Chain A
Amino acid sequence: MSPFLSTAITITLSLHALAMALGVLRLLRGPAAQDRVLALDFLFTVAMLTMLVLAIRYDSSMYFEPALLMALCGFVSSLAAAKFLLRGEVIE
């Protein structure tokens, strides 16, 4: 791995950490419940992207399945939370 790529990966990971910190700020501050659900969905997306960047960093293909599962779980949990906000129950 060239030093250029490893520097870029370091910068990318720190920017992802900054983005997650801003997402946590919205999660804690969000005035309504839907803001918090949106922030959690965003945090899931950024964590999944971090997994993919770590796969390049450690040159391992083992990170693919956790990233896929994270994307799926983020979708299902956001949908369940939004459905709960909409109706008061998840499965009718």
Chain B
Amino acid sequence: MSDIVVAVLLLFSAGLVLTAAIGLTRLPDFFQRLHAPALAATLGTWCVALASIVHFSVRGGAWSLHVWLIAILLSITAPVTAMVLARAALFRRRQAGDPLPPPLGHGSTPDATDTPAEADER
């Protein structure tokens, strides 16, 4: 019974990791590619950690929860890496003069936010 749970969790996480890899390879822009590995780093890791906990808890007859450490560590560190990489990419593109992604506006229409006064605020 526990083997089935572990197998389903492992297959689900493998599908997530493969989706992340396809996204990393196929998406056209860096800022879109930045989103793809988060699939593997969050839900994929949580599923593998849960599978490992179920497997070793059933095998050993006692709770073995230490694999949560890895999942928690990755949930803390993955956003930091993504944030610093995004800032580095923005900086490098600005240096090279490449086109930047459009800034986030306050309203829903892009025309309303492109007044010079608000551009100065940004």
Interface residues of A (CB under 8 A from B): 1-2, 4-5, 7-9, 11-12, 15-16, 18-20, 22-23, 25-26, 32-35, 37-39, 41-42, 45-46, 48-49, 52-53, 55-56, 59, 61, 64, 67-68, 71-72, 75, 78-79, 82-83, 85-86
Contact = CB atoms under 8 A, between A and B. Distances in A.
Contacts of A23: 21, 24-25
B92 A34 contact: yes
Contacts, number: 147
Interface of B: 3-4, 6-8, 10-11, 13-15, 17-18, 20-22, 24-25, 30, 33-34, 36-37, 40-41, 44-45, 48-49, 51-52, 55-56, 59, 64, 66-67, 69-70, 73-74, 77, 80-81, 84-85, 87-89, 91-92
Nearest to B91: A86
